[in-house]
Amino acid sequence: MDIEQLRRLEDEHKDLERRLAELEKHRYLSPREQQERVTLKKLKLAKKDAIQRMSR
């Protein structure tokens, strides 16, 4: 297991989480923001999966 890669994935996951939290603060999202939200959720899930695979 590469600790640096794991930390990088965790940092990226946290960054995605922060951006999603920013979007969730908005009462309404533009179509572009809605698409960004969907994309961010997919990326966040992919990072989480990668973190779990590396942690095994």
φ and ψ at residue 55, rounded to 5 degrees: -80, -10
Whole-model pTM: value is: 0.88
13 within 8 A of 48, measured Cβ to Cβ: yes
- pLDDT value of residue 1: 61
Q: Residue 47, Cβ neighbours under 10 Å: how many?
A: 20
56 pLDDT tier (thresholds 50, 70, 90): confident
pLDDT digits (tens, 9 = 90+) for 2-48: 899 999 999 999 999 999 999 999 999 999 999 999 999 999 999 99
Q: Nearest 5°: CA angle at 39, between 33 and 43?
A: 140
